[in-house]
Amino acid sequence: MDPLAEKYYSISPYAYCGGNPVNRIDPDGMDWFQNSQTGDVAYFSNLSKGAEKSMVKGWQWMGENDMFKSNKDDIANSDNTLALKNGGDFKVIENNPLTHDDDEVVTSMLLKGDKATKFMSDRGFDFKPTQQIRDELEFNTNIDHDNTKFAISTISGEQTFITEKSGYVPKGSIEDGIIPTKANNLLYLDNHTVNRFQITYTTNGLKKALNSLMPLIGYHDFRIPTVYSSPSEYPRNNKYINIFLRTRE
């Protein structure tokens, strides 16, 4: 039921958008946003890509209107349906108080914490790191078998990751690559580096299959990273990361 029904006695209180949901929308808006630090999700029918620049720190554009629809007729997963079904609200902006012909209906929704991650999980998305500081110490060992062409390559050492930003990616995604945000790593030894990386993901089946085959062809990385889910969780107990933060910020 329209919460502003008392203002429009000529319109049924059960008529969403005054019975005209096609025309009373903003065709340049209706986009989805995510918070890279908290995982919160928001929808605004009157905002589009670029609006995140005016939001508080952490908000990023996530996708355009109807990003969750499986096809154009999938009304159950349309923006307005999802927003109102998940606690969203709408208000009418009067552009012409006399006739209401040009009134704009603005729909909005904000989901926080577990509600946001569940909402996205139900639609096939996981919240994964997209930017991390990584301290990596690497020792490589190669063992060749004299009588065969088969060789074993092992990696040992230490890894410490601090997640600075995260984002929603399709379920089943694997890490596809890391892109340094600084031109050069902070290098201590040939096998010890610290840097900040952007992380990309893929759902490519071939790449996932190749990753699963690496141990079978003799490649083993025995490092188990220590991962901090946010900078506030990092106890500042790693001198190499501390130097990086002091010199590269």
The more confidently predicted of residues 150 and 66 is 66
> Dihedral sign, CA of 143, 148, 149, 150?
negative
Confidence of residue 181 (pLDDT cuts 50, 70, 90): confident
- Per-residue pLDDT reduced to its tens digit, 10-20: 444 444 444 44
What distance lies between CA 248 and its chain's CA centroid? 25
Alpha carbon distances (Å) from 231 to 40, 109, 228, 237 = 18, 28, 7, 12
Closest residue by Cα to residue 40 from 21, 59, 26: 59
- The pLDDT tens digits for 55-87 are 999 999 999 989 999 998 999 999 999 999 999
| The pLDDT value given to residue 188 | 67
Q: What is the pLDDT of residue 71?
A: 93
